[in-house]
């Protein structure tokens, strides 16, 4: 007897989005539960547009998006229940404290107060924000704001975390904390999809890496598979990435 395959954490098929020119052009992707997937691409390749469509912030012109089997376009509220979105610009309120912010986010996701309270205290401690938990965010540094936003994304225990350049502006210590938090989520069975310009982060953290150019996925796989595809052998991800992108540009 063959067991039914579990639904992918994220399944994207035939995604199209056009602004004044095509931004996403027939994009397909599957991310499994328990996987950290890094999406790489040059500026303007369409990475953020894709992630915004997955998060329900943009409506695609065509294509399908499924989050843990739920059609995100047909039932966005159910899909959103399972996901969290963290952008490179932290989305927090200057006049709220981190604790109040987490209380607000927990309210939005309908988490009961006792559970939210325990999770918030854990996250605040884990991310080194305990000392500032009851201070308004208006005086916080970029790194602290990013950590508050990340805590907000995790307080409702999402199964799929979408991050757009999550390590921008973080110091080395904070970046390590965030990476540890993300790995922990993946180990617990969640899925993480992130964009980054720091190739070393993708190299060290990602289970699989996707390379995108001109709104299309031009290559994906493990680091070794990408090296092989680019014919670069044992070189760095940077060399492989540049070769793949240059090859695509030449083909276009």
- Minimum distance of another protein from residue 152's CB (angstroms): 7
Which two structure tokens, joined as six digits, stand for 220? 């994906």
- Cross-strand bridge partners of residue 24: 17
- Minimum distance of another protein from residue 141's CB (angstroms): 9
Name which of 39 and 84 has its Cβ closer to another protein: 84
Name which of 72 and 206 has its Cβ closer to another protein: 72
The count of chain residues that interact with another protein, using the rule CB under 8 A, is: 43
**Taking CB under 8 A as the criterion, which residues in 91-110 touch another protein?**
91-97, 99-100, 102-110
Which two structure tokens, joined as six digits, stand for 51? 């992630």
Asked whether position 85 contacts another protein by CB under 8 A, the answer is yes
Place of tokens 């999809």: 193
- Minimum distance of another protein from residue 24's CB (angstroms): 18
Greatest C-alpha distance within the chain: 60
Distance CA(166)–CA(126), nearest Å, equals: 17
Distance CA(49)–CA(39), nearest Å, equals: 12
Distance CA(190)–CA(154), nearest Å, equals: 11
Distance CA(73)–CA(71), nearest Å, equals: 6
Which two structure tokens, joined as six digits, stand for 236? 């760095």
Residue choice 3, 4, 20, 112 for contact with another protein (CB under 8 A): 112
Asked whether position 120 contacts another protein by CB under 8 A, the answer is yes
Asked whether position 180 contacts another protein by CB under 8 A, the answer is no
Asked whether position 126 contacts another protein by CB under 8 A, the answer is no
Binding map of another protein across residues 56-75, x = CB under 8 A, - = no contact: xx------------------
- Minimum distance of another protein from residue 237's CB (angstroms): 29
Distance CA(211)–CA(203), nearest Å, equals: 13
Asked whether position 114 contacts another protein by CB under 8 A, the answer is yes
Binding map of another protein across residues 129-168, x = CB under 8 A, - = no contact: ---x-xxx-xx------------x----------------
Asked whether position 80 contacts another protein by CB under 8 A, the answer is yes
Name which of 98 and 217 has its Cβ closer to another protein: 98
Helices 172-187 and 142-154: angle between axes, nearest 10 degrees: 10
Going 85 to 148 to 38 to 40, the CA torsion angle's sign is positive
Distance CA(251)–CA(147), nearest Å, equals: 41
Q: How far apart are the first and last CA of the chain?
A: 46
Name which of 134 and 176 has its Cβ closer to another protein: 134
- Cross-strand bridge partners of residue 25: 16
Q: Give the footprint of another protein on this chain (CB under 8 A).
A: 55-57, 77-81, 83-85, 87, 91-97, 99-100, 102-110, 112-114, 116-117, 120, 132, 134-136, 138-139, 152
């Amino acid at each position: 007897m063959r067991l039914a395959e579990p639904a992918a954490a994220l399944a994207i098929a035939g995604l199209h989005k056009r602004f004044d020119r095509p931004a996403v052009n027939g994009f397909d992707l599957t991310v499994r539960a328990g996987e950290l997937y890094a999406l790489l691409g040059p500026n303007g390749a369409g990475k953020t547009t894709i992630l915004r469509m997955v998060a329900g912030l943009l409506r695609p012109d065509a294509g399908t998006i499924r989050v843990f089997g739920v059609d995100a376009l047909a039932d966005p509220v159910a899909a959103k229940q399972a996901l969290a979105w963290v952008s490179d610009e932290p989305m927090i309120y200057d006049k709220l404290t981190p604790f109040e912010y987490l209380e607000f986010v927990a309210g939005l996701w309908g988490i009961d107060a006792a559970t939210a309270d325990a999770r918030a205290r854990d996250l605040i401690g884990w991310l080194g924000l305990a000392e500032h938990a009851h201070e308004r965010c208006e005086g916080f540094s970029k790194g602290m704001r990013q950590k508050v936003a990340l805590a907000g994304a995790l307080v409702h225990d999402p199964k799929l975390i979408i991050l757009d350049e999550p390590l921008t502006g973080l110091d080395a210590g904070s970046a390590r904390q965030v990476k540890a938090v993300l790995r922990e989520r993946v180990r617990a069975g969640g899925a993480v999809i992130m964009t980054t310009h720091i190739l070393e982060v993708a190299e060290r953290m990602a289970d699989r890496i996707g390379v995108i150019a001109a709104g299309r996925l031009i290559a994906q796989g493990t680091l070794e598979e990408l090296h092989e595809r680019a014919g670069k052998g044992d070189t760095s991800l940077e060399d492989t990435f540049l070769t793949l992108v240059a090859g695509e540009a030449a083909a276009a």
